[in-house]
Amino acid sequence: MPHTTAEKTITSRDVARLAGVSQSAVSRAFSPNSPLSDKTRAHILQVARELGYKPNAIARSLVSSQTRFIGIVKGATNNPMFSELLTAITEEIQKTNYQVLYYESGPDQTLDDILERIFQYRVEGVILLYANLSSRITHNCRELGIPVLQMQRYSTNAQANVVLPDNERGVAMAVDLFIRKGYRSFAYVAGEMNSSSNLERQMGFLNHLRDCGVNDPIVVQGDYSYDSGYRALQQIAARASYPCGILCANDLMGLGIIDAAKASSLRIPQDIGVIGFDDNFMSSWPVYQLTSLKQPTVEMAKKGVEVLFQSITDRTLQPTMYRYDFELIERNSTNR
């Protein structure tokens, strides 16, 4: 029977001894932002490769009391924009020596339950996408000293940094385009009622139209889904005069409106004009050509990660709200 011997585990002490440096220097060599000369870092990494050494992230976190985990929680939504935003945020975090701990809430899960699980991993910061903070979780984060970043939504009672688009200015751009193109009646297809972004868009729509002398726009409740947009057109058609400009709280509902119009006798853009939010990848397809308000997703992700890390470094910083302008992408759905 052949005799086998377990391979010896290579430690940072072995690397330090062969490289002629301290163990702390070895640790710094594997931390990109740690102070260490390029020459020393390259030498240590070369020795580590020769020995087959891989740093143990868990052991390092126990020694330093820093897990270098960032928790990300995304609320339940099928909006493609949030997947794009999640990718941009993750890419920004991966440029550092932090790791992502990701959770997506299901229809029967509460944010409070998910965050309680995330706290068990001693995360150093939390990013919320499409999710609202409760007062209890806000208190827990403050007690634990965990900075929070909210993207796209915000909670008025939360002590958190917030990065989101300027919804009211975006709506004003859409309304002004409708008026310039000669639309004379107006409708808004709303997203979920508890969404702060939808509330801002809806109120901005009503307020800006009132400033323009329009006091009776149509509002139809949707839920950000394609199907709710498709169904909404039937309700709008029963009440609207033409030409009618329809603003949707996101692009998916706008695509539903366009397909519903094609199945009826309504012409786009002659009878109805359609504008959505987010400029998702389907909006530019020739079959849709949907005019949309595009968010600077990458820029917002960079700012969000930047302010979160600033709050991790300096826990005395006060939370700040950052708003970004939309870019209006005009396509055939409003080209009268």
Using the predicted structure, report yes or no on whether residue 265 has a pLDDT greater than 50. Answer: yes
Domain containing 134 — which CATH number? 3.40.50.2300
Domain match, 152 and 230 both: no
Instruction: List C-alpha distances in Å: 195 to 83, 191, 223, 249, 306.
Output: 17, 7, 10, 10, 25
Report H helices in 263-321.
Answer: 297-313
Domain match, 286 and 260 both: yes
Residue 66: CB atoms within 10 A of its CB come to: 14
Domain total for the chain?
3
Using the predicted structure, report yes or no on whether residue 4 has a pLDDT greater than 70. Answer: no
Separation CA 241–CA 219 (nearest Å): 14
Using the predicted structure, report yes or no on whether residue 32 has a pLDDT greater than 70. Answer: no
**CA end-to-end distance (rounded Å), the chain:** 85
Domain match, 145 and 172 both: no
Instruction: Give the pLDDT score at 285.
Output: 97
Instruction: Give the pLDDT score at 18.
Output: 86
Separation CA 118–CA 317 (nearest Å): 23
- Residue-level length of the chain: 336
Q: For residue 13, give the amino acid letter.
A: R
- 15: part of which helix (H) or strand (E)? helix 12-19
Q: Which domain holds residue 213?
A: 167-295+328-334
Q: pLDDT (tens digit, 9 = 90+) per residue, 38-96? A: 888 889 888 888 888 877 655 555 454 567 889 888 877 767 788 888 899 999 998 88
- Residue 246 and residue 275 in contact, taking contact as beta carbons nearer than 8 Å: yes
Q: Is residue 60 part of a domain?
A: no
Q: Is residue 207 part of a domain?
A: yes
Using the predicted structure, report yes or no on whether residue 159 has a pLDDT greater than 80. Answer: no
| Residue 157 pLDDT level (bands cut at 50, 70, 90) | low
Domain match, 279 and 184 both: yes
Domain match, 136 and 252 both: no
Domain match, 161 and 303 both: yes
Sheet containing 244-248: give its strands across: 218-221, 185-190, 244-248, 272-277, 291-294, 327-329
Helices (H) then strands (E): counts for the chain: 12, 12
Instruction: Give the pLDDT score at 3.
Output: 45
